[in-house]
Amino acid sequence: MRVFLTGATGYVGSAVLDSIIRAGHQATALVRDPEKAENVARRGVLPVIGDLSNPASYAAQAETCEGVIHAGFDYSKRGEAIDRVAIETLVGAMRRRASAGQARTPFFIYTSGIWVIGKAARPAKEDVALNPTPLVAWRPAHERLALEAGVEGVLRTMVVRPGIVYGGNRGIIADLVKDATNGLVRVIGSGKQHWPCIYDHDLADLYVKLATQDEAGGVYHANDEADERVSDIVEAIAAHVKMRPDIRYVPLPEARAKLGDYADALALDQKIRSPRARALGWAPTLHSVAGSVARLLEEFRTASREAA
């Protein structure tokens, strides 16, 4: 199988690319510049130099693939609009492939996020009503756009809502590790809020499972279901670094003044369940951040050395 992947050098996308290759599939990867193209080409991946905002730079190449995993996002002020353009372009490419009479139904997987659910003090499954935190208030409409493209059965369309991703030296958890090694960790709110988390390798394996299982379709949550409190995660990290850092709990109003809507996202209390993903035979290999800190610290150090 050949998969068209956006965001192939990003945090989630790079893990997905690893999983695609590990599973023995082929990938065509959208990248922004020749240096990134050379990096992915060395791994046997076909690079396409382009930009999500410019459909002409990637639509034709996407059409040659059996499916699309859209894991990229443009973090500029135009990110929302560009994401919509990308969905429409990539879905259109898969529709054209389907109309050409391919034996296998093309697929499109859209990457959303767990923050679209909003506060979830009780365990929330994939059918929960959405109440997105302001930072991602636009995203449910993009989920619907992706899912509605699969209503006629011409395509298989899926939405993945990852929890807070951990592993390596990128992402929110890695930022906590970096802060702890630097001696000061700031926690938004009381720290009693629960974060639904997922190891990057486990998340990536879910994408490949969705791509390869013809019965898959609809919304899938991806988290380890550990229901960990932020304070417990931070304490576990603090106990493993050379010198215990200072831990400061920042009141939400103060955090909002500096971080805006991002502060409210970090303060969300969420307990999330992933029954639809588990029904496909997917199961996380790591079951908590706090219980995996020694491993995560080693990954952080290794990835940081390689990036230097």
Q: What is the pLDDT confidence band of residue 218, given thresholds at 50, 70 and 90?
A: very high
pLDDT of residue 102: 73
pLDDT of residue 49: 97
Residues 250-289: pLDDT tens digits? 999 999 999 999 999 999 999 999 999 999 999 999 999 9
In the block, residue with structure tokens 């989630």:
12
Work out the percent of the chain whose per-residue pLDDT is above 70: 100
pLDDT exceeds cutoff 90 at 85: yes
Residues 166-182: pLDDT tens digits? 999 999 999 999 999 99
Q: How many CB atoms lie within 10 A of CB 130?
A: 17
**Encoded amino acid at 159, one letter:** V
pLDDT exceeds cutoff 80 at 308: no
Residues 36-59: pLDDT tens digits? 999 999 999 999 999 999 999 999
Residues 122-149: pLDDT tens digits? 999 999 999 999 999 999 999 999 999 9
Q: In terms of DSSP bridges, do strands 228-229 and 194-195 run parallel, antiparallel, or are they unpaired?
A: antiparallel
pLDDT exceeds cutoff 90 at 111: yes
pLDDT of residue 63: 96
Arithmetic mean of pLDDT, 99-124? 93
Contacts of 152 (CB under 8 A, 6+ apart): none
Q: In terms of DSSP bridges, do strands 67-70 and 107-111 run parallel, antiparallel, or are they unpaired?
A: parallel
Q: What is the pLDDT confidence band of residue 307, given thresholds at 50, 70 and 90?
A: confident
pLDDT of residue 101: 75
Give residue 13's Cα distance to chain centre: 8
Beta-carbon-side half-sphere exposure of residue 85 (alpha carbons within 13 Å): 16
pLDDT of residue 179: 97
Residues 150-163: pLDDT tens digits? 998 899 999 999 99
pLDDT of residue 184: 97
Residue 120: which of 37, 196, 217 has the closest Cα? Answer: 196
pLDDT exceeds cutoff 90 at 103: no
pLDDT of residue 5: 98
pLDDT exceeds cutoff 90 at 62: yes
Cα–Cα distance measured from residue 285 to residue 294, given in angstroms and rounded to the nearest whole number: 15
Phi, psi of 268 (to 5 degrees): -60, 135
**Encoded amino acid at 32, one letter:** R
